[in-house]
């Protein structure tokens, strides 16, 4: 009988810890994405930049922030929304409309309904 009570108590303890663990994991703050590759090119006279970044657990969208070293040219542009749960897989996004001769500085953030992550590494390029 004592073994049975001990076993039941142990099961409840393990289940209780597991529940807290999964709840704590769900509430972990978002980490910053990392920009992995930026490929710039022209197609029919249009400047394009293809940007690839790392997956952030818990993120539901990613945003691009772009400046020219001073002013923000555009900010909070959603480049991927309602992402599938695919760790280690991010499809590059191609963004058009960059001007020739401007030094662009870009970084990414990840978001969900609760928060926005710290910024990624900055990358710069000029067409």
Q: Report pLDDT digits (tens) over 15-34.
A: 444 444 444 445 789 999 99
**92-101, pLDDT tens digit by residue?**
788 888 999 9
Query: Does 23 share its domain with 40?
Result: no
Number of domains the chain contains: 2
pTM of the model: 0.68
Which residues are CB-contacts of 96 (< 8 A; sequence separation ≥ 6)?
Answer: 46, 47, 48
Tell me: do 39 and 15 sit in the same domain: no
pLDDT at position 86 is 57
Find the CATH number of the domain harbouring 86.
Answer: 2.60.40.10
| 98 neighbors 40 (Cβ within 8 angstroms) | yes
Contact (Cβ atoms closer than 8 angstroms) between residue 34 and residue 120: yes
92 three-class SS: coil
One domain for residues 54 and 11 = no
Q: What range defines the domain where residue 3 resides?
A: 1-28
Write the CA distances from 115 to 28, 65, 71, 93, integer angstroms: 11, 16, 24, 22
Residue 44 region by backbone torsions, left for phi larger than 0, else alpha for psi between -120 and 50, else beta: left
Question: Tens-digit pLDDT profile for the chain (127 aa)?
Answer: 544 444 444 344 444 444 444 444 457 899 999 998 899 999 999 999 999 888 888 888 888 889 887 776 766 566 666 555 556 666 678 888 899 999 999 999 999 989 999 999 999 999 9
pLDDT on residue 69 = 77
């Amino acid at each position: 009988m004592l073994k049975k009570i001990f076993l039941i108590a142990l099961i409840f303890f393990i289940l209780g810890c597991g529940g807290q663990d999964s709840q704590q994991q769900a509430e972990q703050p978002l980490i910053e994405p990392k920009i992995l590759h930026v490929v710039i090119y022209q197609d029919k006279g249009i400047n394009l930049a293809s940007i690839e970044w790392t997956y952030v657990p818990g993120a539901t969208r990613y945003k691009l922030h772009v400046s020219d070293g001073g002013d923000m040219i555009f900010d909070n542009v959603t480049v991927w929304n309602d992402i599938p749960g695919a760790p280690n897989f991010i499809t590059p996004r191609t963004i058009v409309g960059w001007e020739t001769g401007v030094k662009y500085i870009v970084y990414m953030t990840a978001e969900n309904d609760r928060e926005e992550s710290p910024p990624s590494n900055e990358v710069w390029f000029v067409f």
